[in-house]
Structure 1
């Protein structure tokens, strides 16, 4: 059942990214926790498995919106980098999806 969910999620991402008129950035968080956010993350095209507080996912989403990012697929888990540094660094490394 979980494999079916993952396939559907990937198909939805590919559909969105395939629409050139739609500005899209996909954020794939690790396991979500209810712990308070730390403001520290690991963000990139591919990151090791892990968990992340929902607060930190929200902070990354806001930073991505503020950056005007487009056509990126990023993964995020808790980590050592401040969100305000991790987002621009990840976008530089990621390039187009």
Structure 2
């Protein structure tokens, strides 16, 4: 009788140990899954940040290009004014020389 009781206790302890081991495995899997999700979120955030920086850089380059274009237009305008002024002066000199 005592042997049967001891055997049943032993079997119950084994079952409890197996249940505990299974719970530990489930917790470890859950923790691993949460860790993977966190890593994925971090990667997504990094990608979003990189994309944002890329867009900002492109905007800066575009603004610089527009600024350079505007400066070139202003320079061309100045050159045009100088050209007209010089032409006018040349015409006036010729007229003076003819007189």
Tell me which interval the TM-score lies in, with the shorter structure as reference length: under 0.3
Give the strand-richer structure, 1 or 2. Answer: 1
**Higher alpha-carbon Rg:** 2
TM-score by length of 2: 0.21
TM-score by length of 1: 0.21
Structure showing greater relative contact order (alpha-carbon pairs closer than 8 Å, 6 or more residues apart): 1
